[in-house]
């Protein structure tokens, strides 16, 4: 999808829509989202599926920035999503504040926690970083169970208030639709960020951190900013899910989600954030909605990842893009051939 953005192009003229970076991805992504929402309709189960896909997608999008752009695999994303979720839960049950406050506080707190964890683990990379952040994720869910006065213990927080925007209470369908829009907007913005000067520096940090340092950017500091951004996005995912589900427990966001989120960009295509979204949709389809194999969904997903890695190393979107380029080439050749 995003390959349009990689093609050479002259300096953008003003308000030529085709030259807006990331617009191709947004167009196709929105189209797919619209089709999915049409398919969902008023079916409650399908709405739940979409909510799950939205949450997976946002966690995978959150990991996209530090993992696929900056190259550091932090695995604490179950905790960040949990922070977003508990922000909604706590604001809803413990305070009289509007829920909108939770949407702000959750991502901010998650970002701060990510910065602290990043500071502590700043000397680690690769496997060791993954292991330590994984432990943090486990410790966080243990903390939620123990801190019963605050978190409600293993029972979690339930009976959450519905959203009330100046007297308007959206229906469940509207909430799901809103969540899908949030995913599309964040994927679009991240796609643009990837192409921007900031994205160029962060992506260079992955392969050539010495070059970034030699160019005048303090690599550990920029890494923290990338981690904070990723955590904030994952917290939005946690908040959306908790709001839709109406409750949250320590088991809502487990390490399982983090492992799935690592695979999602690989399935969908690591070249663009939309790959993470496509991967999330496929993961939900395979693990939760595959009629014949519902019990062995995760196994099916694992097999699916292997098959996709063998056939399309650049993911589903990368494969589709290659097909598109080839088809174009064929269409262009035809007049000459005939």
Partner 1 sequence: MAEEILLVGRGLTKRYGGVTALADVDIELRAGEVLGLVGPNGAGKTTLVDLISGAQTATAGELTLRGARLTGPASRRARAGLARTFQYPQLALELNVRENLLLGRAARRHATLWQMIAGVFVGMVRPRMAADDEFVRAIADELGLGGLEREAGDLTLGEQRLVEVGRALGQDPLVLLLDEPFAGSDARGVAGIAEVIHTVRRRGHAVILVDHNVDLVARLVDRIMLLNQGRVVFDGDPGACLSSPQMQRVYFGSGADDDEAGDESAGAEVQGVRS
The residues of the shown chain that bind partner 1, judged by CB under 8 A, are: 6-8, 11-12, 21-22, 189-190, 192-193, 195-201, 203-204, 206-208, 210-219, 221-222, 225, 229
Q: What is the rounded CA–CA span in Å between residue 246 and residue 47?
A: 14
Minimum distance, C-beta of residue 255 to partner 1, in the bound complex (Å):
28
Our CB check for partner 1 shows the closer of 190 and 266 to be 190
Q: Which is nearer to partner 1, 99 or 232 (CB)?
A: 232
Residue 12 CB, nearest distance to partner 1 (Å)?
7
Q: Residue 50 or residue 229: which is nearer to partner 1 going by CB?
A: 229
d(C-alpha 336, C-alpha 133), whole Å: 57
Strand, helix or coil for residue 247: coil
Q: In this structure, are residues 301 and 286 in contact, taking their beta carbons and an 8 Å threshold?
A: yes
Minimal distance, residue 19 CB to partner 1, in Å: 9
As separate numbers, helices (DSSP H) first and strands (DSSP E) second, the chain gives: 15, 0
- Give the nearest distance from C-beta 251 to partner 1 in angstroms: 32
Between CA 292 and CA 296, with CA 294 as vertex, the angle to 5 degrees is 105
Shortest distance (Å) from residue 235 CB to partner 1: 15
CA gap 170, 188 in Å, rounded? 25
DSSP 42: T
Contact predicate 71/135, CB 8 Å: no
Q: How far apart are CA 100 and CA 267, in angstroms?
A: 34
Nearer to partner 1, 124 or 217 (CB): 217
Cα dist from 152 to 86, 144, 146, whole Å: 10, 8, 9
Residues 223 and 212 sit within 8 Å (Cβ to Cβ): no
Q: Is 16 within 8 Å of 2 (Cβ atoms)? A: no
Q: Looking at beta carbons only, is 15 or 166 nearer to partner 1?
A: 15
Q: Which is nearer to partner 1, 54 or 232 (CB)?
A: 232
Give the residue with the Cβ less far from partner 1, 154 or 196.
196
Per the listing, tokens 């969908």 go with 268
Q: Shortest gap between Cβ of 144 and partner 1 (angstroms)? A: 29
Shortest Cβ distance from residue 38 to partner 1 (Å)? Answer: 29
CB 248, min distance to partner 1, A: 28
Choice between 62 and 82, CB closer to partner 1: 62
Are 63 and 234 a contacting pair, CB within 8 Å? yes
């Amino acid at each position: 999808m995003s390959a349009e953005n990689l093609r050479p192009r002259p300096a953008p003229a003003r308000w030529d829509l085709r030259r807006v970076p990331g617009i191709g991805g947004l167009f196709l992504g929105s189209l797919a989202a619209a089709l999915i929402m049409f398919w969902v309709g008023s079916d409650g189960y399908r709405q739940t599926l979409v909510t799950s896909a939205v949450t997976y997608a946002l966690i995978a999008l959150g990991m996209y920035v530090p993992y696929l752009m900056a190259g550091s695999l932090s695995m604490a994303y179950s905790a960040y999503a949990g922070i977003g979720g508990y922000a909604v839960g706590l604001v809803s049950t413990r305070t009289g504040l509007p829920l909108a406050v939770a949407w702000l506080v959750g991502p901010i707190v998650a970002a701060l926690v990510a910065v602290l964890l990043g500071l502590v683990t700043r000397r680690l990379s690769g496997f060791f970083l993954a292991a330590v952040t994984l432990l943090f994720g486990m410790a966080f869910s243990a903390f939620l169970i123990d801190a019963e006065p605050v978190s409600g213990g293993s029972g979690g927080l339930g009976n959450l208030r519905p959203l009330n925007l100046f007297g308007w209470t959206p229906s469940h369908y509207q909430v799901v639709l809103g969540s899908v829009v949030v995913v599309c907007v964040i994927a679009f913005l991240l796609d643009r960020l990837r192409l921007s000067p900031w994205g160029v520096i962060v992506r260079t940090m992955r392969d050539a951190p010495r070059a970034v340092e030699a160019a005048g950017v303090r690599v550990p500091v920029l890494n923290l900013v990338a981690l904070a951004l990723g955590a904030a996005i994952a917290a939005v995912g946690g908040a959306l899910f908790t709001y839709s589900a109406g409750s949250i427990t320590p088991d809502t966001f487990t390490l399982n989600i983090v492992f799935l989120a690592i695979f999602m960009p690989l399935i969908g295509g690591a070249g663009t954030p939309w790959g993470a979204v496509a991967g999330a949709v496929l993961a939900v389809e395979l693990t939760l909605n595959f009629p014949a194999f519902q019990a062995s969904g995760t196994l099916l997903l694992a097999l699916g990842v292997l098959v996709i890695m063998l056939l399309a190393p650049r993911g589903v979107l990368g494969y589709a893009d290659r097909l598109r380029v080839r088809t174009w080439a064929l269409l262009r050749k035809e007049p000459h051939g005939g």
